[in-house]
Amino acid sequence: MSVLVGKKAPVFHANAVVNGGEIVENFSLSDYVGKKNVVFFFYPADFTFVCPTEIIAFQDKLAEFEKRDTVVVGASVDSQFSHWKWLQTEKKEGGIKGVNFPLVADSAFTISKNYDVLAGDFDYNEEGELVFNGTPQAYRGLFLIDKAGVVRHQVVNDMPLGRSVDEALRIIDALAFFEENGEVCPANWHKGDKGLKATQEGIASYLAAKE
């Protein structure tokens, strides 16, 4: 598994569905560089079980991300047409109608591969046939990309394990706190907590205050 933290986020141009129903070509995270932070997350597949709970949870907290100058973008290996259909399907019927952040179509698996969340890979068998070994879907990868286009946080869950949207918000708050104050965020830090100076004196003072 590649560690992308500290590196420029892999660039891509792909089909996507935006605003809950508009199919666009050449969607790219590069459009947000210099303007917004990006929470870019992968999920295994449309019309599944854990995935809609995550996507709807992100939608429910979308205003909180917007307050933090952050956009949310999802991606899976499904086509833009599958995304569109899922977005038009009522929640009571297994759909995600009402979600309006972008969903990227990675039907060629190239984006998942570049972010190293693809749960398998192509290879040739003994007969010389090109086959896919593993599961042709993405793990639940999440990447926080800052306004400079650099990955500052990543987490990858196995497919059965849903993510915490509140944790994504906490990490954005921690990044903002560091950028604004120059102080680092200790374990279990939350917005409103004190940070600490990255010095021996700073950590000693912080730990003493916890006693």
Give pLDDT tens digits for 183-205.
Answer: 999 999 999 999 999 888 888 78
Q: Choose among 177, 135, 166: nearest CA to 45.
A: 135
Amino acid (1-letter code) at residue 160: P
| Domain assignment of residue 192, given as a range | 164-211
Determine the Cα–Cα distance for residues 14 and 138; give it in Å rounded to an integer: 16
Residue pLDDT, tens place only, 28-74: 999 999 999 999 999 999 999 999 999 999 999 999 999 999 999 99
* 144 and 76 together in one domain: yes
* 72 and 141 together in one domain: yes
Q: What's the domain count of the chain?
A: 2
Show which residues are catalytic: 51
CATH classification of the domain holding 84: 3.40.30.10
Amino acid (1-letter code) at residue 140: R
* 137 and 179 together in one domain: no
**Res 156: pLDDT:** 98
* 203 and 100 together in one domain: no
